[in-house]
Structure 1
Amino acid sequence: MRPISSRLSMILGCLLLAVSLPLVAAEKVYRLKLAETWPPNYPILGDTTKNLAAIVEKMSNGRLIIRIDSKNKHKAPLGIFDMVKAGQYDIGHSASYYWKGKDPNALFFTTMPFGMTTPEQYGWFYYGGGLELMEKVYARHGMLSFPGGNTGNQMGGWFRKEIKSLDDLQGLKMRIPGFAGEVFARLGASPTNIPAGELYTSLERNTIDALEWVGPALDLRMGFHKIAPYYYTGWHEPAAELHFLINKKSWDKLPSDLQEILRVAMRSVAYDMYAQSYHENSESWSKIRTEFPDIKVKSFTGEVLDAMQKANMELLAERAAKDPLAKEIIDSQATYLEKARAWTSISDKAYLNSLDD
């Protein structure tokens, strides 16, 4: 056994060595669970959540880790709102207009028929008061919502039969969510919402007569053209923005620097999804033109479009009359659209028109 003096010397030596070394405390790692509406490895939409997880992990030097559960894991593709609100998941990735049954004002933050284009809508979100209005809606439910990626202007859908008049919409069973579904219902159709993984079989089994999904990049992969050859141009979703839905308690537990990292990462991947969507749609549209001659690309007739616009305006007026917050959102979007569209017309539209001269 060593003498006490020897052991004390050894202990003192260790203490002196410890004091001389820099103190490095192990930094806490925060782990968040994210539920997405999409199937596993779903292109573009699912790429966005993977990009988010990768970016926040790298930017935080491993202090913020996001685990992603696709719909095959949580089994509730249209249940994201409830799961995030209850704290079962910290983050959700979905589309705000899916939650009109939970809060009717949620549908305004994806896109609106005959509304803003993607650049116009991003301007409204980030600089025109859109984010603040979205916060008002989701604060009631103990959640935050942030833009989560835009598909750009969506196509009007796949139809088994040509839509020549309003009569052709009567009783038409169509997968079309959001405010556009309400417009179709007013015109006599029967709108419904169906998760992505069930769309093809629903169309194949005549559960629905028509559907809209996104655009060429995702639609061709789904094979809708094999059943419904009429492909209509868009009117209903000129700027379909997905969203990240975050449980407020989960957000508040994050240090301020990680909140900012997450905020910046969400904004980055949202815009990246728009760029990716534009690229992929361009590639797939080229394929439609050269490889799929049986797809009949159509636009709705003036009669049908006029009726859609009339129904849309009536529904907006009714919604605004019933709910002060809905009126605030509708007025904000209309005011911003008027100013932004004037610039769009004299810039992008004028440029494109000049190429046709």
Structure 2
Amino acid sequence: MTSIPFTRRLAMAAMTGALALTSMATVASADTTRLRFHTFYGTEIDPILKKFRDTVKENSGGDLRIQTFHGGELVASDQLLEAAKKGSIDIAHGHGGYWSGQVDIGNIEAGLPGGWTSLDEARAFFDSEPVDALLTAAYDEAGVVYLGKGYGHDYDLLTKEPVTSLDDLKTRKIRATSNVAKVLEYFEIPTVYLPAGELYIGMSTGVIDGAIYGGPIEYEQLKLNETAKHYTRLNMLMPGWTETFLANKEKWDGLSDEHKAIMEEAIAQFAADITGWLAEGNQSVVDKGDVFEFAVLPDEDSKQLTVAAQAVWQEEAERSARNAELIDLLVANAKAQGRL
């Protein structure tokens, strides 16, 4: 019998070991569930995304893995719902305004002027059983699974001159989105729409005298503090937007109960981390002390904004019976809070 050289025996042993490892990796891979998660945010939230991925991996013992994609990376933000429905992605993180043409309640849940004035109020509203049931049904009809909400932060007025009341704005042109513009026009305040990238030029050249776009951090990032210094808290909509998490039905239904629970907990923490990050960013600008001068609109004027917003609310209510039901709940909440 011919003996096998020692070096060849080593090579064969190494090959056998490699094949065994490959086989084990294949089995492990087959047992690992991977989910494609697409947010509308960019790379600025990468530390939060990493924490999210690590949490899911750790809590599942490595059996559940998340692959994350930034805004516009695989699909445009206004296509997130459709992508989740078709399975191009497994979980979408966007907000109702992106798909209001596909889901009747989209604009309402994204945030209507006067809808809520604090994070606690917004959370309590969406956590209530009637509201949760309406959103679950609406997204089920749209072909996806509704997983829950996230919350933005400040959304207020920046002007070149100080504001002490709504009357001060009647001689100034304010940049606003369509729904906010309808509310301001109720008070005979002139409005115009400009995209974010044009706000600096618009403010510095006098095309606009103020803008309702975001919070202190957004205004500072756009360098608008170089053109306007007066930040007025309107108490019209806080948080200024809400965020929605949706899943592909087939992929979600295929998860074990344990994996669903892990995902729900991790998504809730991810949403809370986003809100915390936004809050910290806004507070950091306040703490600098010399970026903006801060003021608050009088309570009575803030309440009048909610009253004026009723025309916008009723437009949404007329879109469907479900919208009407959701608006009724929004009205009841506003009355309970003393704004109507």
* Number of positions where the alignment pairs a residue of Structure 1 with one of Structure 2: 303
Aligned counterparts of 2:193 and 2:63: Cα–Cα separation in 1: 42
324, 328, 348: which one aligns with 2:325: 328
Corresponding residue of 2:200: 204
Aligned counterparts of 1:318 and 1:212: Cα–Cα separation in 2: 22
| Cα deviation code 1:62-82 (max 9, x no counterpart) | 222222221362362443233
Corresponding residue of 1:249: 250
Taking structure 1 as reference, are residues 68 and 169 closer, same or farther at Cα in structure 2, changes over 3 Å only?
farther
**SS of equivalent to 2:114:** coil
Corresponding residue of 2:12: none
Taking structure 1 as reference, are residues 108 and 318 closer, same or farther at Cα in structure 2, changes over 3 Å only?
closer
Corresponding residue of 1:82: 82
Question: AA paired with 1:38?
Answer: Y
Corresponding residue of 1:308: 305
Corresponding residue of 1:34: 37
Aligned counterparts of 2:321 and 2:221: Cα–Cα separation in 1: 42
Corresponding residue of 1:281: 282
Taking structure 1 as reference, are residues 89 and 159 closer, same or farther at Cα in structure 2, changes over 3 Å only?
farther
Per-residue deviation, 1:244: 1.6
Corresponding residue of 1:270: 271
Taking structure 1 as reference, are residues 185 and 38 closer, same or farther at Cα in structure 2, changes over 3 Å only?
farther
Higher mean C-alpha displacement, 249-258 vs 203-212: 203-212
Question: AA paired with 2:170?
Answer: D
Per-residue deviation, 1:31: 1.6
Taking structure 1 as reference, are residues 266 and 192 closer, same or farther at Cα in structure 2, changes over 3 Å only?
farther
Per-residue deviation, 1:142: 0.9
Aligned counterparts of 1:83 and 1:192: Cα–Cα separation in 2: 29
Conserved? CA contact 1:166–1:303, under 8 Å: no
| Cα deviation code 1:131-180 (max 9, x no counterpart) | 2211122122112233443234x14133456665453466x443x37x53
Aligned counterparts of 1:189 and 1:78: Cα–Cα separation in 2: 29
Alignment of 1:57-206 (within 5 A): 57-71=57-71, 73-74=73-74, 76-116=76-116, 117-152=118-153, 154-160=154-160, 164-165=167-168, 167-168=170-171, 172-174=174-176, 176=177, 179-180=179-180, 182-184=182-184, 194=195, 199=196, 201-206=197-202
Q: TM-score, normalization: structure 1?
A: 0.70
Aligned counterparts of 2:40 and 2:212: Cα–Cα separation in 1: 17
Conserved? CA contact 2:79–2:99, under 8 Å: no
Conserved? CA contact 2:84–2:247, under 8 Å: yes
**SS of equivalent to 2:317:** helix
Conserved? CA contact 2:160–2:230, under 8 Å: yes
Corresponding residue of 1:51: 51
Corresponding residue of 2:24: none
**SS of equivalent to 2:247:** strand
Conserved? CA contact 1:92–1:244, under 8 Å: yes
Taking structure 1 as reference, are residues 41 and 249 closer, same or farther at Cα in structure 2, changes over 3 Å only?
same
Aligned counterparts of 2:249 and 2:113: Cα–Cα separation in 1: 30
Aligned counterparts of 2:64 and 2:184: Cα–Cα separation in 1: 43
Q: Does 1:215 align with 2:212?
A: no
Aligned counterparts of 2:302 and 2:162: Cα–Cα separation in 1: 15
Taking structure 1 as reference, are residues 338 and 190 closer, same or farther at Cα in structure 2, changes over 3 Å only?
closer
Higher mean C-alpha displacement, 207-216 vs 120-129: 207-216
Conserved? CA contact 1:165–1:301, under 8 Å: no
Q: Which runs of 5+ in 2 are unaligned?
A: 2-26
**SS of equivalent to 1:34:** strand
Q: Which runs of 5+ in 1 are unaligned?
A: 2-24, 343-357
Corresponding residue of 1:319: 316
Taking structure 1 as reference, are residues 81 and 205 closer, same or farther at Cα in structure 2, changes over 3 Å only?
farther
Taking structure 1 as reference, are residues 298 and 133 closer, same or farther at Cα in structure 2, changes over 3 Å only?
same
Aligned counterparts of 1:93 and 1:78: Cα–Cα separation in 2: 11
Per-residue deviation, 1:312: 0.7
| Cα deviation code 1:220-266 (max 9, x no counterpart) | 33423223333221333223332222222332232222112111211
Higher mean C-alpha displacement, 225-234 vs 254-263: 225-234
Identity %: 18
Q: TM-score, normalization: structure 2?
A: 0.73
Corresponding residue of 2:8: none
